[in-house]
Amino acid sequence: MSNKAVLVLGGGWGGLTAANELRRRLPPEYRVVVIEKQRNYSLRLSNLWIMAGERTNPNEGDRELSKLTTKGIEFLNGNIEKIDAASKRVEVSGRVLEADYLVIALGADLAPHEVPGFPESAYNLYDANHALRLQRALQEFTRGRIVTLITRTPFKCPAAPYEAAFLIGSLLIDKGVRAKVELALYTPEPQPMPVAGPEAGSIIQRMLEDANIPYFPRHTVRKIERESRRILFDGGETTYDLLVGIPPHVAPRVVREAGLADSSGWIPVNPATLKTSYDGVFAFGDVAAIRLPNGMFLPKAGVFAEAEARVIAENIASEVLGGEPRSRYDGDGYCFIEVGHGMAAFTSGNFYASPAPRLKFEPLSSEHYREKRRMESLLLDSWF
C-alpha cells in the first residue's frame, strides 16, 4: 500500500475519532485504514459501571470494528509487528503496508507483572473481566478492609481510581455494611490528580474525607504478598482483604522497538500539531508524551485524544488538498468524577496554560452524572 493512504494505528477512542474525521475530510480516492489487534471496541469507562453492578456483561456496548467499512473506512485486524517511521512502513501479521501518513494511536499497554504479586492479588480495574469478578466479590463482601492501589504513574483516566473508591463506598452504603468496611486509597502521587493543580487536589481530598476514605499519597509499592495480604511500599506496608489495583502502564513494545519513545517511555510530539520527529508521522493520546509548562505531562485520557485527533485530521486533509495546515491543539480538556448515588463532579479548563493548567472545578450534581452517562452512546454512535 502506498500513495493516497493514511494508516491509523490503533482502534481506540483517539484512533476512531481520527479515522472518522479523516474520512470526512479527505477525497474519496484517499484510503483511510484502521489497524487494530482487537476485533471489537468498547469504551472502557464502563468498567466502573461493571464493578458497581450496573452491568453484568463486560461486552455490553461492544461494537464490531468491521462496521467501520460502512463509513468508507477500511479495517485491518492484526498485530502490528514493526513500525518504520522514516519510510512510513508498517508490518502487520507478516504483511508490509506503506502509506503517505502514519497516525499512531496505540495507547498504553497494561503491565501488571511489573509489580511482583499484582496479577495474583489484585482486581485490575482496567480489565473488564476483572471488573466483573470485582463486582461479584463486592456483592459478597460484608466486613474487612478494601484498598484501592495506584501502583505507578502515569495511568489512563486519572480520575478512575478515585471514582472506584467513591463508588465502592456508595455500593457498601446501599448494602447496609459501610460501617463494617474500612476503605483506603494508596498512590505514589503527591495529591489527587496532581496535574489539575492544588485546588482541585484539595477538593478531591476533602471529598475522600467526607466519604471516610483515608488517603495515603507518596506511597510507591514494591510488591504485594498474596498469602499474607500485605502491600509493601518503599518505607512501609499495609494490609488488605480485597485489593482494587491500577497496574503500571507502558508504551506498546512495537513503539519502543521502533525507537519512537524517548526517556519518558512515550513518544515525544509537538504539543500543538502532534507531529513526531518524522515527516508525515503523528502520535497522540495515551502513547504520546506532552510536557506542560509546569513540567508535568498532559494526562492520558480519551477526551484529550479526541481533540488531538481532530487537529491531526484537519492538518492532514489541508496538506492533501494543497492548503496550509493551520489547526492547533490548544490544550483544553475536561474530566468527570463519579461518586455514586447519581452524582458526579466536573473539572475543565486549559492544560497548556502557563505557568500551570487553569481549571475550573464544578461541584457534585446529577446533571454531571447524566452527562457522563451519555458519553458512551454519543461517541459510539458517532464512530460506527
CA–CA dist 186, 203 (Å, integer): 17
β-pairing verdict for 101-104 and 5-9: parallel
**Letter string b/e over residues 355-364, b meaning 16 or more CB atoms within 10 A of that residue's CB:** ebbebebeeb
Cα 285-290-293 angle, rounded to 5 deg = 140
Question: Could you tell me the domains of the chain?
Answer: 5-37+78-108+251-320 (3.50.50.60), 111-249 (3.50.50.60)
Q: Please state whether the predicted TM-score (pTM) of the whole model is above 0.85.
A: yes
pLDDT tens, N- to C-terminus, the chain (384 residues)? 447 999 999 999 999 999 999 999 999 999 999 999 999 998 888 999 999 999 998 888 899 999 999 999 999 999 999 999 999 999 999 999 999 999 999 999 999 999 999 999 999 999 999 999 999 999 999 999 999 999 999 999 999 999 999 999 999 999 999 999 999 999 999 999 999 989 999 999 999 999 999 999 999 999 999 999 999 999 899 999 999 999 999 999 999 999 999 999 999 999 999 999 999 999 999 999 999 999 999 999 999 999 999 999 999 999 999 999 999 999 999 999 999 999 999 999 999 999 999 999 999 999 999 999 999 999 999 999
